[in-house]
Structure 1
Amino acid sequence: MSAFNFVLNKAREIYGLKVIVEHLDTKYASHCIPALKCLIINSNCNQDDLPLIAGHELGHYVNGDEPRSSIATFSYTANEEAEADKFGIGLLYEYAENEDLVFDTSQDFSQAFSIPKNRQLQVDELAKNHRNVFYTF
């Protein structure tokens, strides 16, 4: 199973969300609509980014975040964005554990899952709880 499908299955099976994956114009970002229990994932992006994008949007739902404006121009606080990324990264660690994937370093993990460099501290923090994903830590 791919990491993307793993995250989508979590959204559907554990959280009971409707998940819509569509190839939309790039001006439309993926987003969560909590009131409708729905994730909309725009697949018109680098396909390697999709697992973290889906995990991030699921993180907004799980964290109880509410968009601050209309669907077309929704926004969250910087803290909510960071927490949503942290949730998504945690799901990717869970996926790696389930698939018996191992990495030499947390940077290798980040590269494998297209995690941005500005989230490396979150990756490192979560790595402490997922040591079985690494050969060495």
Structure 2
Amino acid sequence: MNDLIQYLFDFAFSQDIGYLLVPADEDYSSFANKTKKLIIINTNWKNKAELPFIIGHEIGHLIDGDQGISRYCGTALTSKERHADLYSLNLIFDYATKQYDCYEEPSQFMQAYGIPNRMYNDVVNLFRNNDDLLF
């Protein structure tokens, strides 16, 4: 997980996105601040395995040009949250393929990389569209 997190922070840095790691209460949401081009990540989030996904999600908000402050809520209730989720999924998938990680089932990939269950159908579609990279 540490290598993936470093990969994501390196990617953020390459996009002129800053980051700050904050050990806050486990329910405190990470967020992206478009004005400062900064992501704030709660390192004590209640689901530690989800941290890389959250980092990618917050990067996605800034890459997509979302205005103001966008907080991670763990659901994709709006189109901008869904876009940030998909951005994160694709960043993590890109990392996994560069590592030559192979998974036969979408659920194995999701578990290995802390992808939330709400993304299952998206992971299935990603596997279908990239089956030559996964098997």
Q: Following TM superposition, by how much is the alpha carbon of 1:51 offset from its aligned partner in structure 2, in angstroms?
A: 0.7
TM-score, reference length from structure 2? 0.85
In the TM superposition, 1:3-42 aligns within 5 A as 3-13=4-14, 15-42=15-42
Q: Following TM superposition, by how much is the alpha carbon of 1:36 offset from its aligned partner in structure 2, in angstroms?
A: 0.3
**CA displacement, residues 88-113 of structure 1 (integer Å, 9 cap, x when unaligned):** 00011111011111111112111111
CA contact (8 A) 1:93 1:133 kept: no
Distance 1:54 1:68, change over 3 A: closer
Q: Report whether the alignment pairs 1:78 with 2:78.
A: yes
Please list every run of 5 or more consecutive structure 2 residues that lacks an aligned counterpart in the other structure: none
CA contact (8 A) 1:102 1:132 kept: no
Please list every run of 5 or more consecutive structure 1 residues that lacks an aligned counterpart in the other structure: none
In the TM superposition, 1:1-137 aligns within 5 A as 2-13=3-14, 15-45=15-45, 46-67=47-68, 78-135=78-135
Tell me how many residue pairs correspond in the alignment. Answer: 130
Q: Following TM superposition, by how much is the alpha carbon of 1:68 offset from its aligned partner in structure 2, in angstroms?
A: 6.8
User: Secondary structure, in 3 states, of the residue corresponding to 2:35?
Assistant: helix
CA distance in 1, matches of 2:43, 2:86: 21
Distance 1:133 1:2, change over 3 A: farther
Q: Following TM superposition, by how much is the alpha carbon of 1:50 offset from its aligned partner in structure 2, in angstroms?
A: 0.9
CA distance in 2, matches of 1:27, 1:103: 31
CA contact (8 A) 1:107 1:120 kept: yes
Q: Following TM superposition, by how much is the alpha carbon of 1:124 offset from its aligned partner in structure 2, in angstroms?
A: 1.8
CA contact (8 A) 1:31 1:41 kept: yes
CA contact (8 A) 1:97 1:133 kept: yes
User: Secondary structure, in 3 states, of the residue corresponding to 1:57?
Assistant: helix
Paired-residue identity, %: 27
Q: Following TM superposition, by how much is the alpha carbon of 1:118 offset from its aligned partner in structure 2, in angstroms?
A: 1.5
**CA displacement, residues 7-30 of structure 1 (integer Å, 9 cap, x when unaligned):** 1110012x1111111111234210
